Structure 1
Amino acid sequence: MKRERIGELLCARIAAGVLALALVLSAASGWGAEPGSDAERALLAKYSSIKDKLEKNQFGAPIYLESTDSEGKVRVDMYGVVPHPFETAREALQSPASWCDITSLHLNIKACTFKASTNPQQVTLYSGRKYYQPPSDAYPLKFAFTLVSQTPRLLEVRLEAEEGPFRTKDHRIVLQAVPLGGATTLLHFSYTYSQGTVARLAMNGYFSTLARGKVGFSEVTDKGGEQHLVEGARGAVERNTMRYYLALETYLDTLKYPENQRFEQRINRWYDLTAKYPKQLKENDKSSYLAAKRMEHNRQVELQKKLGN
């Protein structure tokens, strides 16, 4: 009887130890979070408030955009519904390698590299002109990549950079995703950055000369009461945020293809999606974009090999 009792106690302690270890591991990985987190509830509440706008809008797609430009800080939030199960989106969008495949579709991103062995992980975007440009001639925007949450009902990823081009600072990209009914997922993509007086003067000069006439997607009312599409820095961030959002959508849409076909499928589909909004996103013809991206992709592969990740 004593031996049986000792055996029962030993088994109970082993089971308790295994359970404790499982709880520690799940908490560390994010899988132990309680369903219905504050972030999930807030995102679903936002979805309820904009559902009508997602169904009928100027985009002709389930997309909603809002932006602000106040006290030197520009912010754009985009919400969209994609026809992919949440599990697929969560697995596809949580690694820095995936984000390099996504962001490099943007015509101004000349290459993207990542370091998965650092803490935090790092993603570097080489930002340059709209035509082909080697990464060595582009601006390296270095982001800290953080997987904030990956629960069964929420994905949150953040990319943060202290400094950016034109003396901008505090660049932050945030992606959140939650499941909706059926095999659909709600995405929330936001981009923010801050700029001081010098940066704002430089950018105002750019938008009043070389970038004059470029517009975003939001309608604003001028002092005379007339409505027009937003311009300036706010318009520029709206355009760039839309390009990144369409890159996310493109990435998910092309996962169905064999891996060796995905790059070509992605650059073709991304261009076709942006072509639906020529007033805001038209910069060059498709053949020029495809040729540039093929060369830039080769440079990106070379850079990544040197990093050894």
Structure 2
Amino acid sequence: MKREPMVRFISTRIVAGFLGLALLFPSAAGFAADPGSDAERALLAKYTSIRDKLEKNQFGAPIYLESTDSEGRVRVDMFGVVPHPFELAREALQSPASWCDITSLHLNIKACTFKTSTRPQQVTLYSGRKYYQPPSDAFPLKFTFTVLSQTPRWLDVRLEAEEGPFRTKDHRIALQASPLGPGSTLLHFSYTYSQGTMARLAINSYFSTLGHGKVGFSEVTEKGGEQHLVEGVRGAVERNTMRYYLALQTYLDTLKYPESQRFEQRISRWYDLTARYPKQLKENDKSSYLAAKRMEHNRQMELQNKLGN
């Protein structure tokens, strides 16, 4: 295979089909091991320790992000405060259908479907290119969807996939939420997966060619003291986590509109929110994004109707 087709293959099947999934969501072990009040106290303790960083940061919003890439395991934690009552967030975020409305805002997600008739419930993400692409040409990753715990002050949701593309494994997506006050909710949005030699080589090939120069949000310091924004896999996961977080925020923000208006409101608002971070998140113009999402939304509805949920 010639070099140019190989690079194109890596671009469409690795980044669009794999890193686009690197969403949604460290292992949540630090917060989800004990459901209920213990987990809530752990999350609120974390909030206390990062409160200053939530109030003043590079995002210009109450968001705090941590990421690691060590020994074949990639991990991202994102903490944020949204101006919505916990009761609203808890009700919305325990539904697989809501997660499909959220994740499909991401430019690399071509469709999302869910099954509520199975135990556990299932959510399938179809990940592909940044422009329009039918779900049949995208990579499907099937997650189990479980509400681990919910109380009047706590929500813990988990999505898990044992196998992923390019022999990646142990994909774990988690969301914890707790009220901060009458009108605000604290979110912990996390994601982890493991990658073997094949995935590592393919992804490194991409970042040495077409993905060169793409950055995330964290600053890293070299041995010589030089600082720069994180690149490579960590940078990619940070970008996608931010895209998913903004999709989550967009979903909650647009619940105030009549249901018939929500989709158009969501795709427009999500694009505008991502446009605040052009260095990391700028990929295409708004008209192209809106046109692609309208077509992909129709394909998603067709897929979901076939499942009959």
Counterpart position of 2:99: 99
Which residue of structure 1 lines up, in the alignment, with residue 20 of structure 2? none
Greater CA radius of gyration, 1 or 2? 1
Q: Secondary structure at the match of 1:142?
A: strand
Q: Deviations over 1:43-100 (max 9, x none)?
A: 0000000000000001000000010111100011000000000000000110100000
State the match for 2:237 in structure 1. Answer: 237
1:164, 1:36 → 2: CA distance? 30
TM-score by length of 1: 0.88
Structure 1 match to 2:263: 263
What CA deviation, in whole Å up to 9, does each residue of 1:146-191 have, x standing for no partner? Answer: 0111100100101011122233221111000000023100011001
Cα contact 2:36–2:151 (8 A) shared by 1: no
Does the aligned pair in 1 maintain the 2:36–2:150 contact within 8 Å?
no
Name the structure 1 match of 2:204: 204
Q: Which residue of 1 aligns with 2:147?
A: 147
Please report how far the alpha carbon of residue 36 of structure 1 lies from its aligned counterpart in structure 2 after TM superposition: 6.1
The CA distance in 2 between the partners of 1:99 and 1:171, in whole Å, is 16
1:54 aligns with 2:93: no
Give the deviation of 1:35 after TM superposition: 9.9
1:103/1:256 Cα in 2 relative to 1: closer, same or farther (>3 Å)? Answer: same
* Structure 2 match to 1:298: 298
For residues 85 and 123 of structure 2, the distance between their equivalents in structure 1, rounded to whole angstroms, comes to 26
1:241-293 deviation digits (Å, cap 9, x = unpaired) = 11110000000000000000000000000000000000000000000000000
Quote the residue 1:273 is aligned against: 273
* SS of 1:180 mapped into structure 2: strand
Q: What corresponds to 2:5 in structure 1? A: none
- Structure 1 contact 143–160 (Cα < 8 Å) conserved: yes
Q: Which residue of 2 aligns with 1:63?
A: 63
Is 1:157 the counterpart of 2:139 in the alignment?
no
Distance 1:268 1:165 in 2: 30
Contact 1:105–1:270 (8 Å) recurs in 2: yes
CA RMSD of aligned residues (A): 1.2
Change (3 A) 1:121 1:114: same
Contact 2:35 2:149 in 1 (8 A): no
Q: Figure out how many residues of one structure are paired with residues of the other and give that number.
A: 276
- Structure-to-structure mapping, 1:117-132, within 5 angstroms: 117-132=117-132
Contact 2:110 2:138 in 1 (8 A): yes
1:223 counterpart = 2:205: no
1:285 aligns to what?
A: 285
Q: Which residue of 1 aligns with 2:137?
A: 137
Is the 8 Å Cα contact of residues 35 and 153 (structure 1) preserved in structure 2?
Answer: no
Letter of the 2:45 partner, please give it.
Answer: A
Which residue identity is paired with 1:229?
L
TM-score normalised by L of structure 2: 0.88
Structure 1 residue aligned with 2:175: 175
Deviations 1:89-132 (A, max 9, x none): 00011010000000000000000000001011000000000000
Distance in 2 (alpha carbons) for counterparts of 1:59 and 1:173: 23
User: In 1, distance between residues paired with 2:150 and 2:278?
Assistant: 36
Gap regions ≥5 residues in structure 1? 1-33
- Please tell me the residue identity of whatever aligns with 1:157: V
What percent identity do the matched residue pairs reach?
Answer: 88
| Letter paired with 1:98 | S
What does the per-residue CA deviation read over 1:216-251, in whole Å, with 9 as the maximum and x for residues that have no partner? 000001232210000011110001111110000000
In terms of mean alpha carbon deviation, does 168-177 or 80-89 score higher?
168-177
Greater relative contact order (Cα 8 A, min sep 6): structure 1 or 2? 2
Distance in 2 between the 1:218 and 1:275 partners? 18
CA distance in 2, matches of 1:193, 1:175: 15
1:129 counterpart letter in structure 2 = R
